[in-house]
Amino acid sequence: MGFLRVKLQKKMFCAILSTMLTKRKKINIFKEIATHEKDTGSPEAQVGLLTRRIEELAKHLKTHKKDIHSRRGLLGMVADRQTHLRYLQKKHPKRYTTIVRKLELKK
């Protein structure tokens, strides 16, 4: 019984790791969207990172429909992305339109 539980935990841990964003993936996201070489904190970079994390988590939730805790995390990420986009829309409309086009968001 204990062996089976450990084996299931390992499978779940491996599944979670496969859906996480690796450092290399994050660097590629920042290269695509960043305004300068070391840009990781601009609203555009944050929206790009959140968008990729939302896509990964949505894919996870399609197969694991009863994973309520991950669904709550997804809703928090969506709200955070909306906040960043609202800031861009108010303060920098041109940057907002370029990021929405680049990420193909429904705005």
Range of the domain at 24: 2-103
Half-sphere exposure of 42 (CA within 13 A, CB side): 19
* Residue-wise pLDDT tens digits, 60-102: 999 999 999 999 999 999 999 999 999 999 999 999 999 999 9
For position 10, what pLDDT does the model report? Answer: 59
Cα–chain center distance at 63: 17
CATH number at residue 10: 1.10.287.10
The pLDDT of 23-43, averaged and rounded, is 88
Question: Can you tell me the distance from the alpha carbon of 61 to that of 46, in angstroms, rounded to the nearest whole number?
Answer: 22
The domain total for the chain is: 1
Picking from 22, 29, 62, the residue whose alpha carbon sits closest to that of residue 44 is 29
